[in-house]
Amino acid sequence: MVPFKKTSLALIAAGALISGNVLAGEQATIYGKVNATVQSDDTGESETNIKSNASRVGIKGGVKINDDLKAIYKVEWQVDVSDESKSDNISARSQWVGLKGNFGAVMIGRNDTALKKSQGKVDLFSDLNGDIKQLFSGENRMGDSLTYVSPKFSGFSVAGTFIAEEGNSDENGTSLALMYGDAKLKKSSLYAALAHDADVKGVDTTRVTINGKVGGVKLGAMWNESEKAGKKGDGYLVSAAYGIGKTTLKLQYQDSDDVNGKAKQAAEMVTLGADYKLAKNVKVFGFYTDTSFADNSDASHLALGMEYKF
């Protein structure tokens, strides 16, 4: 007998949810993206790789309870489209259930922390080798969590995450953020955020983010400070993006001695890239990332890829 694969279970769950929603007249949206690159990676040894960059599929929706209240949900999985394994290429992303109303939204389950959400769109190479998580702490998606996001008041909103100690650490963790403006810079020309994590994965992190438009250029900046077991570190990022027709040129620079970044040591990272839109939801892109570490080692990544959002 052929055993069930994780993919089969995911498809069964998706089908059940969609069928139930159709019968109940509820809202259900299937969404996701496939992002894959061909890369030349030099991290001491040079090799060519095919990489899946946080490709994902999800289902989200809700049902109206009354004029002032709606039940909402989201179930999302990450899919590694480059993995040669046929049975172990799916992992959980944000998966939660909650309520939404005039008070804002409350979600229970696995979710991005308030601090992670506060980054907005300042990271121009999210999910790629130039992602801010390589050098900065605070990029956490936590289970055992309760998340609240307020409605906007005069452009301001707040978000908070409570992480129960079970399965995460010996202490309860909290993440708080104060945000202003539109993170996508479509409804406003400025976005800014101040956020703080207390004992999230044993780390205290403070982050300040600002993103805005100056003429046709989108400019971003971030300062990130972390403390773990009495050790402190910080870092900063600056980014710029400029659109020319269907092409977007991008530049991002990071400098960090964050105590909990993936690099595990002080480093500088610069990434250059360009996106070209083939359609509203399809693009081809390329980037080059170079990282110089404090021990005088370095790493580089040259990639060409495609992304399809659905």
Mean pLDDT of the chain: 90
Reduced to 3 states (helix: H, G, I; strand: E, B; else coil), residue 8 is: helix
Rounded Cα–Cα distance for residues 114 and 161 (Å): 6
Q: How many domains does the chain have?
A: 1
Rounded Cα–Cα distance for residues 73 and 62 (Å): 6
Q: Would you state the pLDDT for residue 25? A: 54
What are the contacts of 279-285 at 24+ separation with CB within 8 A? 281/308, 281/309, 281/310, 282/306, 282/307, 282/308, 282/309, 283/307
Amino acid 198 reads A
Q: What angle do CA 121, 288, 185 make, to 5 degrees?
A: 15
**pTM for this model (two decimals):** 0.89
Q: How confident is the model at residue 5 (pLDDT cuts 50, 70, 90)?
A: very low
Q: What number is the average pLDDT over the span 203-220?
A: 96
Other C-beta atoms within 10 Å of 121: how many?
17
Which DSSP string do the residues of 19-40 spell out, in sequence order?
HHHHHHT-EEEEEEEEEEEEEE
Q: What number is the average pLDDT over the span 104-112?
A: 98
Rounded Cα–Cα distance for residues 164 and 170 (Å): 9
Residues 216/289/76/89 CA torsion (nearest 10 deg): 150
Rounded Cα–Cα distance for residues 61 and 21 (Å): 9
Rounded Cα–Cα distance for residues 212 and 37 (Å): 29
Say if 201 falls within a structural domain: yes
Q: Which helix (H) or strand (E) holds 231?
A: strand 231-244
Say if 18 falls within a structural domain: no
Reduced to 3 states (helix: H, G, I; strand: E, B; else coil), residue 85 is: coil
Say if 24 falls within a structural domain: no
- For 239-255, write each residue's pLDDT tens digit: 999 999 999 999 999 99
Q: Would you state the pLDDT for residue 132? A: 96
Say if 3 falls within a structural domain: no
Say if 89 falls within a structural domain: yes
Rounded Cα–Cα distance for residues 291 and 270 (Å): 7
Rounded Cα–Cα distance for residues 129 and 152 (Å): 33
DSSP code of residue 153:
B
- For 62-81, write each residue's pLDDT tens digit: 999 999 999 999 999 999 99
Domain that holds residue 137: 31-309
Q: How confident is the model at residue 264 (pLDDT cuts 50, 70, 90)?
A: confident
Lowest mean pLDDT segment, chosen from 82-91, 110-119, 280-289, 296-305 = 82-91
Size of the chain in residues: 310
Say if 298 falls within a structural domain: yes
Max alpha carbon distance in the chain (Å)?
Answer: 63
Give me the CATH number covering residue 65. 2.40.160.10
Say if 138 falls within a structural domain: yes
Say if 11 falls within a structural domain: no
